[in-house]
Amino acid sequence: MLPNMGLTFSGSTGMDLSNNHFEGRVPSLPFGLAALNLSGNRFSGTLSFLCEIGQFLTFLDLSNNSLTGRLPDCWMKFQEKLVVLSLSDNNLSGEIPSSLGFLLNLEALSLRTNNFVGEVPMSLSNCTRLRFVDLGENKLSGVIPEWIGEKLSKLYALVLGSNKFYGRLPLQVCWLYNLQVLDLSNNGLSGNIPRCFNNFTSMARKVFKDDLGTHSYSTFGGRIPGRNPAPRACRSIINCRRLQFRETNEAQYSDNAWVVWKGTQRLFGRSGLQLLKSIDLSRNNLSGKVPHEITSLYELISLNLSMNKLHGEVPKDMSLLRNLESLDLSNNEFSGHIPWSLAQLTFLSYLDLSYNNLSGRIPTGSQLQRFSYTSYSGNPQLCGPPLTPRCGFAPVAGKKDVEEDEEDSWKSYYTGMGAGFAVGFLGICGALVLNHRCRYFFFALLSYIKDWIYVTTVVHFGKLERNLRR
DSSP conformation letters of 198-261? GG-HHHHS----S-TTEEEEE-TTS-EEEEEPPPHHHHTSTT-TT--EES-SEEEEE--EEEEE
Cα separation, 303 vs 281, in Å, equals 8
Contact 120, 97 (CB under 8 A): no
Contact 361, 355 (CB under 8 A): no
CB within 8 A of 308, min separation 6: which ones?
281, 282, 283, 284, 285, 286, 287, 331, 332
Residue 145 preceded by cis peptide, ω within 30: no
The helix (H) or strand (E) run that includes residue 442 is: helix 436-469
Cα separation, 139 vs 117, in Å, equals 5
Contact 292, 268 (CB under 8 A): no
- The pLDDT score that the predictor gives to residue 419 is 73
DSSP code of 14? Answer: E
Name the amino acid, one letter, at 375.
S
CB within 8 A of 51, min separation 6: which ones?
72, 74
pLDDT tens for 308-320 read 999 999 999 999 9
- The pLDDT score that the predictor gives to residue 304 is 97
Over residues 137-162, mean pLDDT = 96
- The pLDDT score that the predictor gives to residue 255 is 83
DSSP code of 162? Answer: S
Task: Give buried/exposed letters for 22-32 (b at 16+ CB in 10 A, else e).
Answer: beeebeebbbb
Over residues 98-109, mean pLDDT = 95
- The pLDDT score that the predictor gives to residue 226 is 39
Over residues 146-167, mean pLDDT = 96
pLDDT tens for 164-223 read 999 999 999 999 999 999 999 999 999 999 999 999 999 988 765 557 777 877 655 343
* Poorest-pLDDT segment among 186-195, 270-279, 331-340, 375-384: 270-279
- The pLDDT score that the predictor gives to residue 207 is 66
pLDDT > 90: what percent of the chain?
A: 56
The helix (H) or strand (E) run that includes residue 187 is: none
Cα separation, 294 vs 314, in Å, equals 12
Listed ranges 54-58, 160-164, 215-219, 452-456; the one with the highest mean pLDDT: 160-164
Cα separation, 129 vs 150, in Å, equals 13
* Poorest-pLDDT segment among 10-14, 56-60, 250-254: 10-14
- The pLDDT score that the predictor gives to residue 259 is 86
pLDDT tens for 409-418 read 555 656 767 7
Cα separation, 34 vs 68, in Å, equals 23
Over residues 21-39, mean pLDDT = 90
Whether residue 7 is predicted with pLDDT greater than 80 in this model: the reply is no
- The pLDDT score that the predictor gives to residue 409 is 53
Cα separation, 105 vs 80, in Å, equals 6
Cα separation, 90 vs 385, in Å, equals 47
The whole-chain average pLDDT of the chain stands at: 83
- The pLDDT score that the predictor gives to residue 450 is 73
Beta bridge partners of 303: 279, 327
pLDDT tens for 250-282 read 788 888 888 888 888 888 886 677 788 999 999
Instruction: Report the SS3 class of residue 417.
Output: helix
Phi (first) and psi of residue 408, to 5 degrees: -60, -40
Contact 142, 160 (CB under 8 A): no
* Poorest-pLDDT segment among 136-140, 198-202, 402-406: 402-406
- The pLDDT score that the predictor gives to residue 462 is 74
Cα separation, 254 vs 83, in Å, equals 12
Cα separation, 351 vs 68, in Å, equals 40
- The pLDDT score that the predictor gives to residue 388 is 86
* Poorest-pLDDT segment among 45-49, 201-205, 288-292, 297-301: 201-205
Residues in the chain: 470
Task: Give buried/exposed letters for 303-331 (b at 16+ CB in 10 A, else e).
Answer: bbbbbbebeeebbeebbbbebbbbbbbbb
Cα separation, 377 vs 363, in Å, equals 15
Q: Is residue 241 very low, low, confident or very high in pLDDT (cuts 50, 70, 90)? A: very low
Of residues 248 and 25, more confidently modeled: 25
- The pLDDT score that the predictor gives to residue 244 is 39
Of residues 222 and 66, more confidently modeled: 66
